[in-house]
């Protein structure tokens, strides 16, 4: 079952790297009392994600922030070390990178794509989601690895 607009964001645990190593990050903690943009990608270091999807969010970050978005998170079904390395390689300080390495969010959200045919297994679909105080306001789901609906240039028009 795929999550829908106007529903509460599922209770899941993401991960990030801090000075003490991998650290659990409860979804309700990062979403409480904030308007957040969550950008989902199939894989860190992949060409479409790195070269086409995230640069738009970097370019338009200040526009998102001026329209009330307080944080922009990027999530993928990669481990937190990979997400940290990817963030460092892209030099995008405007975005926060978090891991759904266990696939908990992927499983609970239904925002899944099967990329086994290219050796990547089950991954998150490419999407963007506006969340206000834990409530899903708008979902821009590409329903797979393609890139059209969830481009930053399309998402900014809806805010």
Catalytic residues: 49
Instruction: State how far the Cα of 25 lies from the Cα of 76, in Å rounded to an integer.
Output: 14
Instruction: State how far the Cα of 116 lies from the Cα of 43, in Å rounded to an integer.
Output: 13
Is residue 131 helix, strand or coil? Answer: strand
């Amino acid at each position: 079952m795929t999550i829908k607009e106007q529903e509460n964001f599922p209770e899941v645990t993401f991960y990030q790297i801090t000075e003490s190593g991998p650290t659990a990050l409860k979804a309700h903690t990062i979403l409480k009392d904030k308007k957040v943009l969550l950008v989902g990608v199939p894989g860190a270091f992949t060409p479409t994600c790195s070269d086409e999807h995230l640069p738009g969010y970097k370019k338009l970050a200040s526009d998102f922030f001026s329209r009330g978005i307080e944080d922009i998170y990027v999530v993928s079904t990669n481990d937190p070390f990979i997400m940290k390395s990817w963030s460092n390689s892209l030099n995008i300080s405007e975005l926060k990178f978090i891991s759904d390495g266990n696939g908990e969010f992927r499983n609970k959200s239904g925002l899944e794509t099967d990329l086994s045919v290219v050796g990547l297994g089950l991954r998150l679909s490419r999407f963007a989601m506006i969340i206000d105080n834990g409530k899903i306001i708008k979902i821009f789901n590409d329903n797979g690895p393609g890139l059209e609906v969830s481009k930053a240039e399309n998402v900014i028009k809806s805010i």
